[in-house]
Amino acid sequence: MPMSADEIRHLIETALPGAQVTIRDLAGDGDHYAAEVVAPQFDGLTRVRQHQLVYDALGGRMGGLLHALQLSTRIPS
């Protein structure tokens, strides 16, 4: 069973308190999402490390319950 957008948002917001998370279902199938994550925890980190923090928040669900996630990260302006 695929993950819901709300579940993805909750996992990220729990792991990165204060993050602003926007999730879009790209294909309408509940299996392909885009996420924009704006978090103060990203300050000073490389883009790769920022993405790793988000993937860590998903707890190994990538490639299983969550098939595809187009990810955009940035620090708050």
All structural domains of the chain: 5-74 (3.30.300.90)
The C-alpha torsion from 57 through 16 and 8 to 27, rounded to 10°, is -100
In contact, 9 and 66? CB cutoff 8 Å: no
| Alpha-carbon gap, residue 55 to 47, rounded angstroms | 12
* pTM over cut 0.85: yes
Tokens encoding 70? 């187009």
Per-residue pLDDT of the chain (77 residues; tens, 9 = 90+): 688 999 999 999 999 999 999 999 998 888 899 999 999 999 999 999 999 999 999 998 888 888 889 999 999 99
